[in-house]
Amino acid sequence: MYEFAENIQRGIIYLLKSDDDFYCQIVNLVKGEYFEFPVHENIFSTITDYHEKYRQLPSDDLILEDVKKKKRQSEDLSDYEDELIYINSLDTSTINNKDYYVDLIEDFAKREAMKNAIKDCLVLIKENRVEETEEVVRKALTISRSVDNGLNYFPSVKERWERILNNDDTDKFRTPFTSLNRVLEGGLSAKELGMVVSPAGVGKSLFLVNQGVESLIEGRKVLYVSLEMSEDKIAQRFDSIMTLIPQSRLKSNQLTLHERLQVFQDEFPGSKLMIKEFPTGLANVNTLRVLLNQLKNFEDFTPDIIIVDYLELLRPTTEGMAEYQAQQRVAEELRGLGVENNCLIWTATQTNRQGRTVNIITDAELADAYGKIRTCDFAISLNQTEEEFDNGRMRVYVMKSRNSRQRFIVPAIVDYNILRMSESTEEFEDSEEG
């Protein structure tokens, strides 16, 4: 590794060939070309090839045997024998601190990855492939030795259930509907993807704003990403729901609006709302990652819940897909964003044309785009006839719930003056699916 002293490079080789734990931590961070001398590069590749094939570290004799096949004719095997002797004779006190070496390698690997990413991005920009540069840089930023091997099932049973039983409803994100929260044992969780489905104009965005208000009442930090409506229009919807002032009277009740919003802030002091509009069809999940970094650095804002309005208006990070493939890919990328940032994601999606003709919207009304529902953890559809619209009624159908009851209807009411959605105390007549 060019900027390391020669004996540092030898110390890395020594630990690499003699300490399996050290090997596992750094093998994905180091490349053969990082070593200054061909002898070290060949020893490194021999160790990694052997471990990949046999799942153990090779002895010096096996290293030398394999080096015979890799070395150039101009090289002498004795150079490798002498180098291994030199490596083995290192003062062990200088290499006892494995963490130091791991930190050194990780820092170097991060810098190398970013330098290579910048070089690649220059080529991509020249070739007018600007969108691909985001993914190249993002991959470079993920370079880390962090190791998470998952849940070791049997040894963790007691600890796991203590954790589950001690978690109360404050870890759950409520929906605007009591019955759903009851079935979900409090609501959805961070790292999950919720989806609301309906034809255009039925109330997807309205539901998402109501979901945002519900999370604000819980004292959450809410990020609302609009890909269609302006920031001011979305904010006005929040205005009405939080203050109970009808949309038509917001302009004439500015004093009351400010007073009631202050009461709301005082009542729920931990809540914070950011609304960001992107041009329709231009943003993708990497755009949201950039936004999250900016919000953290400039606003000290890290959201608990991200609401994306709506899925079809977000581009996949990979171009050239069929529409149904693109929608599934966007859903997968949104869920991944939630996992990366330990937050809940809510989004909306439209049905096909058949969705306007059925009594209850199910996954059948998604046609070729069914894959987007397969990705999410929880999905509801909003169902409404003209008569129900006139009466401010709606039927919320649970299309999918990964860990709880599904395929049932919750009667809901919508106050179109203040745009508030809530569960009805009256039972509507149940309808058959489809």
In contact, 218 and 301? CB cutoff 8 Å: no
Rounded-to-5 percentages of helix, strand, coil across the chain: 55, 15, 30
| Nearest-angstrom CA–CA distance, 242 and 217 | 9
What is the CATH number for 288?
A: 3.40.50.300
- Identify the domain boundary among 141, 158, 178: 141
Cα distances from 335 to residues 307, 375, 377, in angstroms, run 12, 8, 9
Asked whether residue 428 carries a pLDDT value surpassing 60, the answer given is: no
Residues 173 and 124 both lie in one domain: no
Q: What is the DSSP letter of 416?
A: T
**What DSSP line would sit under 181-240, residue for residue?**
HHHTTTSB-TT-EEEEEE-TTSSHHHHHHHHHHHHHHTT-EEEEEESSS-HHHHHHHHHH
Q: Count of domains in the chain?
A: 2
Residues 249 and 298 both lie in one domain: yes
Within-domain flag for 83: yes
Residues recorded for the chain: 434
What is the CATH number for 69?
A: 1.10.860.10
pLDDT per position as a tens digit, 384-423: 999 999 999 999 999 999 989 999 999 999 999 999 999 9
> What is the phi-psi region of residue 155: left when phi exceeds 0, alpha when psi lies from -120 to 50, beta otherwise?
alpha
Q: How confident is the model at residue 434 (pLDDT cuts 50, 70, 90)?
A: very low
| Nearest-angstrom CA–CA distance, 21 and 15 | 9
pLDDT per position as a tens digit, 134-169: 778 877 877 776 666 778 888 889 988 887 777 655
Alpha helices by DSSP H, 55-97: 60-70, 77-88
pLDDT per position as a tens digit, 45-81: 999 999 888 889 999 999 999 988 888 888 889 999 9
Residues 84 and 133 both lie in one domain: yes
Task: Provide the 10 A C-beta neighbour count for residue 356.
Answer: 14
- Identify the domain boundary among 124, 141, 158: 141
| Nearest-angstrom CA–CA distance, 117 and 100 | 26
Residues 133 and 182 both lie in one domain: no
pTM reported for the whole predicted model: 0.70
- Identify the domain boundary among 141, 160, 176: 141
Within-domain flag for 289: yes
pLDDT at 4: 63
Within-domain flag for 163: no
Q: What is the DSSP letter of 55?
A: S
Q: How confident is the model at residue 203 (pLDDT cuts 50, 70, 90)?
A: very high
pLDDT at 72: 83
Residues 268 and 383 both lie in one domain: yes
Residues 321 and 241 both lie in one domain: yes
Residues 96 and 183 both lie in one domain: no
Within-domain flag for 267: yes
pLDDT per position as a tens digit, 258-269: 999 999 999 999
Residues 137 and 172 both lie in one domain: no
Within-domain flag for 162: no
Q: Which domain holds residue 98?
A: 6-141
Residues 268 and 417 both lie in one domain: yes
Residues 88 and 216 both lie in one domain: no
